[in-house]
């Protein structure tokens, strides 16, 4: 079991290295855990234990220079994909949160005031932008921003991601980096546009870490603090469908469940507060797994979404990424 997990991690590192990634974000605790586990495997099977394949470096990786942003969402060539395991747990226990991060309290309940959608939205946006905890965890002095949902208040579809990344905390808008550009292409392939849907995140700030690169997945406490903000956004917009992008978004919305991997759960309707919810792969996953198979799975989920909200689906759209 342990061995299988280690091999899955090694496979993922090999893939990342083949894609030109020279450094990956790993917390000290994760490195210590891996070392401890590697020691256990070696003790059991010294001659066959897997050798390390990728350097865990503290040098900044240059995500900006990675050329794997899908130039065209619909026309990449097929590459057979090996099943892979995630290299990071989707939701981390708070024991793993770095000590220097200011503690995060339990969230406080609030009511949205009466009014039309725009009035309610403006009230909520101001509340979140002025929230002392959100502000405390954003490097405001460096021009970084708290991030709130963006899009159409009458949207049928609410896309929910994990947390702002480097580009998002600079621009103060969700999904504006490479993953966001790909999300825009996915949305466009359905015939919708970014400004016709709503786009938000489980988190309102970029989880802090002490590495000069990469993103740390949010912890349970961080997610719990921001969740009422997301619930309120959903309550105001009242979308017909929520698309959870990646397992962390689903864990945040539906509660943590280690069995709920994207591979096992995608393509099936679930519910968030009575609203149909579907889980699909995060655009960042597609950037790392640029294969027809991955894109087809996401596209199949999008077809379900289109069907659910009553969007007409052309034969051409049905055929995108069809198995040859």
Whether 182 and 69 have beta carbons less than 8 Å apart is answered as: yes
Based on CB atoms, which residue is closest to ligand URA, 159 or 320?
159
Based on CB atoms, which residue is closest to ligand URA, 281 or 320?
281
Q: List the one residue out of 147, 150, 110 whose CA is nearest residue 129.
A: 147
Based on CB atoms, which residue is closest to ligand URA, 6 or 137?
137
Stretch that binds ligand URA, among 15-23, 57-65, 87-95, 175-183 (CB under 6 A): 175-183
198-217: which residues touch ligand URA (CB under 6 A)? 201
Binding-site member from 149, 151, 174, 252 for ligand URA (CB under 6 A): 174
CB of 134 to ligand URA, least distance (A): 15
Stretch that binds ligand URA, among 25-33, 69-77, 91-99, 176-184 (CB under 6 A): 176-184
DSSP string, 78-98: P--------SS-SSB-GGGS-
Whether 123 and 153 have beta carbons less than 8 Å apart is answered as: no
CB of 107 to ligand URA, least distance (A): 20
Based on CB atoms, which residue is closest to ligand URA, 201 or 265?
201
Based on CB atoms, which residue is closest to ligand URA, 168 or 301?
168
Site string for ligand URA, 153-172 (x = CB under 6 A): --------xxxxx--x----
CB of 6 to ligand URA, least distance (A): 27
Q: How many residues bind ligand URA (CB under 6 A)?
A: 12
C-alpha neighbours within 13 Å on the C-beta side of residue 21: 20
Whether 70 and 287 have beta carbons less than 8 Å apart is answered as: yes
**Rounded-to-integer distance, Cα 63 and Cα 82, Å:** 23
Token pair belonging to 221: 């406490």
The CB density around residue 18, as the number of other CB atoms within 10 Å, is 8
Based on CB atoms, which residue is closest to ligand URA, 50 or 214?
214
Backbone angles phi, psi at 8, to 5 degrees: -65, -40
Across 160-199, b (16+ Cβ under 10 Å) vs e yields bbbbbbebbbbebbbbbbbbbbbbbbbbebbebebeebbb
Q: List the one residue out of 145, 149, 109 whose CA is nearest residue 125.
A: 149
Site string for ligand URA, 35-64 (x = CB under 6 A): ------------------------------
Site string for ligand URA, 242-261 (x = CB under 6 A): --------------------
**Rounded-to-integer distance, Cα 117 and Cα 175, Å:** 23
Alpha carbon separation from 141 to 132, 212, 214, 226 (Å, rounded)? 14, 17, 21, 22
Binding-site member from 179, 189, 232, 297 for ligand URA (CB under 6 A): 179
Question: Per rule CB under 6 A, is residue 301 in the interface with ligand URA?
Answer: no
Q: Using CB under 6 A, list all residues that contact ligand URA.
A: 161-165, 168, 174-175, 177, 179-180, 201
């Amino acid at each position: 079991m342990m061995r299988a997990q280690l091999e899955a991690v090694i496979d993922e590192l090999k893939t990342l290295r083949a894609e030109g990634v020279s450094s990956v974000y790993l917390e000290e605790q994760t490195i210590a855990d891996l070392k401890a586990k590697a020691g256990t495997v070696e003790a059991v099977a010294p001659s066959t234990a897997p050798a390390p394949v990728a350097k865990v470096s503290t040098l900044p990786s240059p995500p900006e220079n990675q050329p794997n942003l899908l130039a065209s969402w619909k026309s990449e060539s097929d590459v057979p994909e090996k099943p892979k395991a995630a290299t990071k747990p989707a939701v981390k226990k708070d024991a793993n949160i770095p000590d220097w991060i200011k503690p995060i309290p339990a969230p406080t309940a609030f009511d949205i005031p009466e009014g039309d959608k725009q009035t309610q939205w403006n009230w909520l946006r101001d509340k979140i932008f002025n929230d002392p905890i959100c502000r405390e965890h954003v490097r405001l002095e460096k021009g970084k921003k708290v991030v709130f949902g963006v899009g159409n208040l009458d949207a049928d579809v609410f896309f929910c991601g994990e947390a702002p990344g480097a580009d998002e905390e600079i621009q103060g808008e969700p999904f504006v980096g490479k993953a966001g550009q790909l999300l825009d292409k996915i949305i466009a392939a359905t015939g919708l546009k970014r400004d016709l849907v709503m786009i938000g995140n489980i988190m309102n700030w970029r989880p802090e870490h002490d590495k000069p690169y990469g993103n740390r997945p949010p912890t349970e406490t961080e997610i719990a603090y921001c969740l009422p903000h997301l619930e309120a956004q959903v309550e105001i917009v009242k979308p017909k469908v929520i698309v959870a992008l990646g397992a962390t978004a689903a864990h945040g919305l539906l509660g943590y469940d280690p069995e709920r991997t994207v591979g096992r759960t995608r393509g099936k309707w679930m519910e968030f507060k009575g609203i149909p919810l579907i889980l699909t792969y995060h655009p960042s996953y597609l950037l790392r797994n640029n294969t027809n198979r991955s894109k087809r799975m996401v596209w199949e989920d999008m077809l379900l979404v289109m069907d659910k909200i009553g969007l007409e689906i052309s034969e051409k759209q049905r055929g995108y990424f069809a198995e040859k």
